[in-house]
Structure 1
Amino acid sequence: MLSAFALRFIYRARCWYERVWLGRPNRSLVRYLPFDFVIKANSNRGAHEADVLRYIRSHTTIPVPRVYWSAQDSDSTYTLMKRVDGSILEARWPRFDDIQRTRIVAQLRAYVGQLRDLQPTHSNSLAVCGLGNTPCNDGRVSSMPFGPFDDEAGFNDHLIRAAELYLADEILNDIRASMTDDHRICFTHGDLTPRNIIVRDDGTIAAVIDWEYAGWYPEYWETVKALYCTMVVKDDRWDKAVRDFIPGNYERELQIDKSLSDRMVGAF
């Protein structure tokens, strides 16, 4: 088993090689290695992505990268994974035909269904939290971990607190009064966007990646995040697809979140 020191050395050596020898400074947290390995660095906040990947791989048929080793030091968690062949959906979606896009939507619908069938790994089924009742981690809300919360009301209160710098108290009070505190709590990817889906040429999904925002959230949150800052080039077909592969009508919740997040973009 590789130690945190060994994984950190491999990660930093690859960063140095790309920057100095290849002249390709790379701001991504992911580095591609020989022999179809990938190493990723995450900050130590919330549940470790490697634990989420192992959990999803053990409890669903959703294709995710295979984790070989993971370890953490005082600052970061390093995860060594198998590389997944394919293309990022963001690059392929505009060029796919209707049949391929329909195939993508059907697969994602099945995956979301599996996530919603998962049962909490902690005792409080109402908690909004990361895997194993760890703190939440979501860049839409905060650059730092937050929670966990005993229920959705605590999560909603935190969403309001996160917007206090940007909105007047009167507006925030009205928004909080319009929020619902009794949604079903479901396991949620938290960033189910085209940049985090790897596909093959025929429209088959090879892997869903980037699970660092995953956790137990109100059922509408998957929709909010799948439509939040999704593509460099806006594509209404993706917006329609999201509403097709995530069950439920969350237009009201989207508008409530929009009243907060539209004023917070770039804040973190």
Structure 2
Amino acid sequence: MWRLVHRALSVLCPLLPGRVRFRIWKLLCSRGSRSWEPDGQAQRVEGHMYIKLSTLVRPSEGQVTDFVRRNTNIPVPIVIDNVTVDGETALVLSELPGTTVREIHRDSGVSDEQAAKLSRQLARLLAGLRSLPPPASGVCGWGHGPVHCERICMDSKPRGPWSSVDEFHTWMVARSRIVAPPEKSDEVWSCIKAAHSRPHRICLTHNDLASQNILVDEQFNITGIIDWEAAAWMPEYWEYTKSMFLPWDRKGWWYRIMRDVFPQYEVERQAELYIWNYREVYS
């Protein structure tokens, strides 16, 4: 029932003036904070909804979430409203069933069987995302603009766009100022060159695929992939390597899951590890 309600609201909300909608969502956020703790930027509110409301919320998150819902089989929230007033954006999303994989891991761990099941589902769902035709503008953020990504720039300032994957690679290596130890220099640069010389398609990429952004039910079926704020058109291996940007995600069960989803990008993963380990510029 709630899904029908949320779809109806997504049609009706744009009929109201933006300032009226914004005030309603701000009031609901205030009410929701009395009953539920915020989940990052998102505040749970009445009506099985979540609201992200601040100057840090980008309208592009709602736009790409709606695009993914309409063009793939990936379960994502319904965008009920996405309104900006005086520099503040209120992004209103439907609640999805399930529990994050990170919560399950913290509470009871992820078995080998569950990890394999998750890999199979992710491979199928992400294949649809990666089959979408890319824009002619090259490597870029949503709307052909710059990319918001802490892997590219640790302070998350947007960078780009780049007209091609080659241009992106050239910029990334130059910016990183890689200084490898003399005894490893040939190995490091040979790996980076091999990875970057491979032909890569440009694919729509979640760009923050992690265990806290994947929801599953009790049978470990994926019920949702959330938080699309960093989504961008990136080289095809980026979903894999970016998912292991944080040191604790580079080994163990999460690494095994993502390796099984993307077994073809081990050279690119090693090249990224070298860049991360030996770069001088972090922001």
Per the alignment, do residues 23 and 106 of structure 1 end up closer, same or farther by CA in structure 2, a change over 3 Å counting? closer
Code of the aligned partner of 2:252:
D
Indicate the residue corresponding to 1:217 in structure 2.
234
CA-CA distance at 1:188 after TM superposition: 1.2
Match of 2:218 in 1: 201
Q: Which has the higher helix share?
A: 2
From 102, 106, 122, the counterpart of 2:116? 102
3-state SS, counterpart of residue 52 of structure 1: helix
Q: Does 2:165 correspond to 1:152? A: yes
User: What is the CA-CA distance between 1:243 and the residue it aligns to?
Assistant: 1.0
Q: Does 1:88 align with 2:100?
A: yes
Q: Which amino acid aligns with 2:205?
A: T
Tell me the number of residue pairs that the alignment of Structure 1 and Structure 2 aligns.
Answer: 257
Do the aligned partners of 1:129 and 1:136 also contact (CA within 8 Å) in 2?
yes
Match of 1:64 among 30, 52, 76: 76
- Cα distance in 2, alignment partners of residues 231 and 206 from structure 1: 25
RMSD of the TM alignment (CA)? 3.4
How far off is 1:190 after superposition? 1.0
Q: Mark the CA change 1:9 to 1:261 in structure 2 (over 3 Å): closer, same or farther.
A: farther
236, 247, 262: which is aligned to 2:252?
Answer: 236
Rg larger in 1 or in 2?
2
- CA distance in 2 between partners of 1:60 and 1:27 (Å): 26
Q: Post-superposition shift, 1:231?
A: 5.3
Q: Determine the C-alpha separation between the residues in 2 that align with 1:191 and 1:117.
A: 19
SS in 1 for 2:264: coil
8 Å CA contact retained: 1:45, 1:135 = no
TM-score, normalised to structure 2, is 0.77
Q: Does structure 1 retain, via aligned residues, the 8 Å contact 2:115–2:253?
A: no
Percentage of identical aligned residues: 26
1:24-78 deviation per Cα after TM superposition (whole angstroms, max 9, x unaligned): 6x58211110111100147568870111111111111100011110012454432
Q: Answer whether contact 2:32 2:43 (CA < 8 A) is retained.
A: no
Name the SS for the 1:240 alignment partner.
helix
2: distance between equivalents of 1:27 and 1:81? 13
The 1:159/1:42 distance shift into structure 2, 3 A limit, reads farther
* Aligned counterpart, 2:202: 185
Matched, 1:130 2:141: yes
User: For residues 49 and 99 of structure 1, do their structure 2 counterparts lie closer, same or farther at Cα, with a shift above 3 Å needed?
Assistant: same
Task: Give the AA of the match of 1:239.
Answer: Y
> Per the alignment, in what secondary structure is the counterpart of residue 217 of structure 1?
strand
Q: List alignment gaps of at least 5 residues for structure 2.
A: 1-12
Name the residue aligned to 2:9: none
1:245 counterpart letter in structure 2: V
- 2:164 & 2:32 partners in 1: Cα distance? 47
Unaligned runs of 5+ in 1: none
How many angstroms does 1:205 deviate by? 0.9
Q: CA offset at residue 115 of structure 1?
A: 1.3
**Which residue identity lines up with residue 257 of structure 1 in the other structure?**
E
Partner of 1:256: 271
Bigger Cα displacement from structure 2, 173-182 vs 145-154: 173-182
What letter corresponds to residue 72 of structure 1 in structure 2? T
